[in-house]
């Protein structure tokens, strides 16, 4: 007979680990936010040249989305923690004051998340143009 | 600084410098005094309108001569030197535009004071108020222009000296040191790459395109907007660790 306590929830260590392990077993990527999707797309578009300032330029020129470098690095860090992108430190260059670039590359898990996000957006966008008065 | 430049103009300037340096403080005092104390006497008004017309006229003549004799030669030289080291000097054109706007503003004020003043000589409170405000703006703006001109020429001289001595290239390209100091607040794992990105953009894109002043402003804006998201992410991360630790304990 299990003993139920009045405390039900994730406030014990065993519950926490149980929930974490359950999430990882589903193997389904977390849904991407709008900005995360744009950043991942920029990384894909730039290929081997994807580093901070280039991604920033790509977001500004193609997506017409203004953001600070700090916000971009925070997002890239989050994507890296989620396992969607991998980073690699390049060679230091003189125009950067002897500092190295950090290149980013999308991983298979990230590709899957991006595909799902893109597909969801496309499905939702179907037939929406006339409702918004056209011009999309 | 403003008082010093006024004193310099009075002591070392040509006749028009002496005229405007003497009349602008008078304008600054006379018009508000007229508005506050209502001293509607003919001699007082004669003094007001004489200074109101003479001051701006002398100032415009003086600034025109200053621009053509001192300002332009210095900046032409700076431009040539910048071209020699592979940079485009856009400071001159932007500042010239700014100065021309200021001179136009001065002329508008002068017209308001000198021409519209006697027409509306009807003891109207609003007219007196506008006139007093315009006179204060005119005097303060003119002194600001003077200070700005001196500092601009000084800065240009400094840059020319740097470039001629061969050490200017590095100095011209330097980012604001205080901003770089602030970047030390960024978490270490991002710091090197973010500073590198900013420096690359500063030296290769923004500086040649917009000039030193705007490039430095751009650098400051990037630093200030970049600090907050990284700082906030770090705070949340630490807060998350504390909450987790407390729940595990």
Q: Residue A68 and residue B201: Cβ atoms within 8 Å?
A: no
Residue A19 in domain: no
Q: For this complex, say whether ipTM is above 0.95.
A: no
Q: Residue B193 and residue A51: Cβ atoms within 8 Å?
A: yes
Q: Are residues B37 and B74 in the same domain?
A: yes
Q: What is the mean pLDDT of each run of 10 residues along chain A (136 residues)?
A: 45 47 54 90 92 91 88 90 90 80 92 91 86 74
Q: A12 to chain B: which residues are within 8 Å by CB? A: 247
Q: Are residues B149 and B103 in the same domain?
A: yes
Buried/exposed code over B82-99 (b: 16+ C-beta within 10 A; e: otherwise): beeeebebbbbeebeeeb
Half-sphere exposure of residue B180, counting CA atoms within 13 Å on the CB side?
Answer: 13
Any chain B CB within 8 A of the CB of A61? no
Residue A10 in domain: no
- What is the phi-psi region of residue B211: left when phi exceeds 0, alpha when psi lies from -120 to 50, beta otherwise? left
Is residue B235 pLDDT above 90, yes or no?
A: no
Q: Are residues B13 and B122 in the same domain?
A: yes
Q: Are residues B53 and B106 in the same domain?
A: yes
Q: Are residues B135 and B179 in the same domain?
A: no
Which residue, of B168, B192, B220, is where some domain finishes? Answer: B168
Which residue, of B147, B168, B189, is where some domain finishes? Answer: B168
Give the whole-angstrom CA distance, residue B72 versus residue B75: 5
Could you tell me the residue range of the domain that residue B43 belongs to? 2-168
Nearest to A56 by CA among A73, A37, A81: A73
Q: What is the mean pLDDT of chain B?
A: 73
Residue A25 in domain: no
Nearest to B150 by CA among B69, B217, B215, B70: B70
- Percent of chain B past pLDDT 70, that is, above it, reads 62
pLDDT of residue A38: 93
Q: Are residues B115 and B17 in the same domain?
A: yes
- Give the DSSP H or E segment for B243: helix B212-248
Q: Residue A70 and residue B186: Cβ atoms within 8 Å?
A: yes
Residue A22 in domain: no
Could you tell me the residue range of the domain that residue A56 belongs to? 33-126
Number of domains in chain A: 1
Number of domains in chain B: 2
Range in B11-25, B116-130, B211-225 with the lowest mean pLDDT = B116-130
Nearest to A67 by CA among A41, A40, A33, A38: A38
Most A CBs within 10 Å: which of B200, B203, B225, as the mutation test of the A interface? B200
Q: Are residues B115 and B178 in the same domain?
A: no
Q: Which residue has the higher pLDDT, B125 or B34?
A: B34
Most A CBs within 10 Å: which of B170, B229, B237, B240, as the mutation test of the A interface? B229
């Amino acid at each position: 007979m299990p003993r139920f306590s009045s405390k039900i929830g994730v406030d014990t260590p065993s519950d926490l680990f149980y929930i974490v392990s359950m999430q990882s077993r589903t193997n389904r990527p977390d849904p991407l936010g709008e900005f995360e999707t744009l950043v991942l797309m920029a990384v894909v578009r730039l290929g081997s040249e994807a580093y901070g300032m280039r991604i920033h330029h790509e977001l500004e020129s193609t997506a017409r989305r203004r953001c600070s470098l700090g916000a971009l690095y925070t997002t890239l860090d989050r994507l890296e923690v989620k396992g969607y992108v991998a980073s690699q430190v390049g060679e230091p260059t003189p125009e950067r004051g002897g500092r190295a670039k950090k290149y980013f590359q999308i991983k298979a898990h990230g590709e899957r998340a991006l595909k799902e996000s893109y597909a969801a957006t496309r499905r939702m966008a179907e037939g929406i143009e006339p409702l918004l008065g056209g011009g999309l | 600084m403003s008082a010093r430049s006024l004193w310099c103009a009075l002591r070392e300037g040509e006749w028009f410098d002496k005229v405007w340096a003497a009349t602008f403080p008078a304008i600054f005092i006379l018009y508000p005094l007229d508005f506050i104390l209502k001293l509607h006497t003919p001699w007082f008004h004669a003094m007001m309108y004489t200074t109101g017309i003479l001051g701006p006229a002398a100032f415009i003549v003086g600034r025109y001569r200053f621009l053509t004799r001192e300002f332009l030669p210095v900046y032409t030289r700076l431009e040539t030197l910048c071209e020699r080291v592979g940079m485009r000097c856009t400071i001159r054109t932007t500042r010239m535009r700014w100065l021309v706007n200021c001179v136009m503003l001065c002329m508008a004020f002068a017209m308001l004071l000198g021409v519209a003043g006697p027409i509306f000589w009807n003891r109207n409170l609003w007219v007196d108020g506008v006139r007093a405000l315009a006179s204060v703006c005119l005097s303060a703006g003119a002194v600001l222009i003077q200070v700005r001109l001196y500092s601009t020429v000084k800065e240009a001289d400094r840059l020319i000296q740097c470039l001629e001595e061969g050490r200017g290239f590095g100095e011209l390209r330097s980012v604001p040191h205080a901003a770089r100091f602030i970047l030390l607040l960024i978490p270490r794992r991002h710091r090197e790459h973010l500073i590198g990105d900013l420096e690359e953009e500063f030296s290769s894109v923004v500086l040649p395109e917009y000039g030193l002043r705007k490039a430095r402003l751009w650098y400051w804006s990037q630093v200030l907007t970049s600090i907050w998201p990284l700082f906030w992410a770090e705070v949340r991360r630490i807060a998350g660790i504390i909450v987790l630790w407390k729940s595990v304990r």
